Amino acid sequence: MDGGRDIPSQHVTSTSHRDFASSLVRSFTATSPLAQELVARDIAECSSDEEDDRTSRGRRVSHENAFDSEDEDDEGARTPTLYRRLSGVAYGSSRPAIAVPPVSEPVLTQIERRRSRDAERSLLRDNHILPPKHALEKEPGFFSRVYKRVFSTKVPLPETPDEESRVAERQPLLTPVPEDGPTADPLNEVWETAVAEGKIKTTWQREAQTIAVYSRSLIVTFMLQYSINVASIFAVGRIGKLELGAVSLATMTANITCYAPIQGLATSLDTLCAQAFGSGHKHLVGLQLQRMTFFLWLLLLPVAIVWFHAEDILATMIPERRSAELAGMYLRIVIAGTPAMVAFECGKRFVQAQGLFQATTYVLMIAAPVNIILNYTFVWRLGWGFIGAPIAVACTQNLLPIILFLYVRFVDGSQCWGGLSKRAFSNWGPMIRLALPGMIMVAAEWFAFEILTLATGQFGTSYLAAQSIMVTVSATTFQIPFPLSIAGSTRVANLIGAKLVDAAKTSAKVTFVGGLVTGLLNMVIVFAFRYQIPLLFTHDQEVIEIVASVMPVLSVLQVFDGLAAVSHGLLRGLGRQEIGGYANLASYYIVALPISFGLGFGLDWKLAGLWAGVTVGLLVVSCIEYWVIYTADWDRSVKEAEHRNASG
């Protein structure tokens, strides 16, 4: 009898294995669009599982009751959204993605819908369509008039010949709307009428204020995350120029072989988690997190093998054997932190889909100072020297997901976690196909910088150390214009989604000026402190002289780097980010790299020639993208956004 029972048991086991393999193969069938199909499959499987269905239904009902209990009128699909979450905090590398697939926005929470309504109401007031929130001064003083002239966000009224006309213009152009009325339908009607009649305008003051508010938290977030990478360069640089060059070589190798591909693949969660959150089955957000995490952990196996033998690989490319040895040692130690790095990259998307963007900032506010302390302690206090830097990096990488887990568990975000599920090992096909474009774009950009770093190694140890400083300075200054570009992208997309073409153009102009001013400011700082900046990294006089001689080129690059970052953002706001991706790739591989090698090796300009090529490439891509923006059909972008909103 026992033997008879074993046969069906084996049969069931083998059948389940075949079913699992079959489901994995079927997941690679053609789908369109991929994200919707993947989430639809998960919902179908979820609804067939009674236990999961009860869990998700309980959570969903609670969520819907919360929405229905307050401001139910705010949920009308016809109300345009003037408040949208910034999606840039998912990044954090020194050179973020060139272009990623469009991110599907998750549904807004009550607070966010209220902010959107407040933004509409404020814009109506500034256009004198609704009565002002505060009574106007009868006879404003001189300083009050100057202040309003410079900082007021109100749209100026045309000059009128008589006092009677002035009084008439102070009245709202449309019927006043009670702000605390029982329904929001009058406000919806006022808004739609004003948009249809072209009465909604904006000012550069309002757009500058909005973009500044959007940017500030992102700048802090990016600076904190980049400090984790740059801290080891500061700590190791004072040991010697050999160690400084080695840590740059190791960091760039880690970026191109692991960090960049991982970040690129994880960008698909921006869409998948948002789709899952918007479906109402919140626990599916956690399922997407598990699926991508397991997939990326699987990819770490070949990465670990490459890193373990990195010394021999790099020795074939770098004349200085000792640099290759130190870089290989760095990579072998950092292997211990890569699984945690994957978990953190995926976890950022998990909280982002729920609108919890501050979670990443809070985590980094704890981890970044700890990382600095660890680098100082291991490298100098304990006397471990070079080996202390990768140990500090690995410890910090393992700390990041732990802090994020504690935030989700005890603060906010746990409502989208449904527990570990065996479904995480199915439906990988659409997820991988959705993730590959993001990986290719990110890795392609990083690879261009890796080529420059490897090329610098041909000039000797001092130049490789100088390249480490140049890359660090360039990446640090980039953390300011890139958040600005995200803010501009979000604002332009909001205004286009609200059918306010003129306002979107005004916001784009403000963003352009912001990028130009930021680039000029960075240029002045880099040029003025060209002799002081390398002292932060090293005391080697030869390296300092090389860096100081190349800094003028890097200072010019700052202007075009800022303009290029902003142009990428504006193209994303217009929904034409693929143009920016192709233009950027062309500028790197067709323009920048050939010029860099021609000047660096052909004319023997060495490091200055390599960076001059990158500067020319950024100039070219800026010109191309701003020409596309200038000649773009903005009304077409409005129609495309309207179509996407209707489809969503």
What pLDDT digit, counting tens, does each position of 438-457 carry? 677 667 767 887 788 888 88
Confidence check: pLDDT of 620 > 80: yes
pLDDT at residue 90, as a whole number: 45
CA distance 171 to 125: 11
What pLDDT score does 442 carry? 66
Are 330 and 247 in contact by the 8 Å Cβ rule? The answer is yes
Q: How confident is the model at residue 432 (pLDDT cuts 50, 70, 90)?
A: confident
More confident residue, 584 or 152: 584
Residue 13 is predicted with a pLDDT of 43
Express as a percent the part of the chain with pLDDT over 70. Answer: 72
On the 0-12 / 13-18 / 19+ scale of CB atoms within 10 A, 380 is: middle
pLDDT higher than threshold 60 for residue 544: yes
246-268 pLDDT tens trace? 998 898 889 888 988 888 788 77
| Number of domain units in the chain | 1
CA 319, 321, 326, 329 dihedral sign is positive
Higher per-residue confidence, 352 vs 614: 614
**Residues making up the chain, counted from first to last:** 648
Q: Does residue 33 have a cis peptide bond before it, meaning omega lies within 30 degrees of 0? A: yes
Instruction: Assess whether pLDDT exceeds 70 at residue 435.
Output: yes
Inter-residue contact 300 to 342 (CB < 8 Å): yes
Longest CA–CA separation in the chain, Å: 106
Decide if pLDDT at 524 tops 90.
Answer: yes
42 domain residue, yes or no: no
Is the distance from CB of 506 to CB of 203 less than 8 angstroms? yes
With b for 16 or more beta-carbon neighbours within 10 A and e for fewer, the 470-506 pattern comes to bbbbbbbbbbbbbbbbbbbbbbbbbbbbbbbeebbbb
| Residue 94: inside a domain | no
Interatomic CA distance for residues 495 and 518, integer angstroms: 24
Mean pLDDT of the chain: 78
> In the predicted model, what is the mean pLDDT of residues 463-475?
90
Tell me how far apart the alpha carbons of residues 5 and 123 are, in angstroms, rounded to a whole number: 74
**Quick check: 561 and 95 in contact, CB under 8 A?**
no
The verdict on residue 377 lying in a domain is yes
Asked if residue 269 belongs to a domain, the reply is yes
User: Does the pLDDT value for residue 80 go beyond 90?
Assistant: no
Does any domain span residue 588?
Answer: yes
pLDDT in tens, 183-199: 445 767 777 777 777 77
For residue 65, the model assigns a pLDDT of: 41
Is pLDDT above 80 for 531? yes
Q: How confident is the model at residue 74 (pLDDT cuts 50, 70, 90)?
A: very low
| pLDDT interval class at 8 (50, 70, 90) | very low
CA 648 – CA 641 distance, rounded (Å):
10
Task: Answer yes or no: is 105 within a domain.
Answer: no
Across 513-522, 534-543, 566-575, least confident range: 566-575
Q: Judge whether residue 180 has pLDDT over 50.
A: no
421 lies in some domain = yes
> How does DSSP classify residue 459?
G
- Domain containing residue 599: 204-647
Task: Say if residue 98's pLDDT is above 50.
Answer: no
Residue 142 lies in a domain: no
pLDDT at 216 over 50: yes
- Chain centroid to CA 633: how far? 26
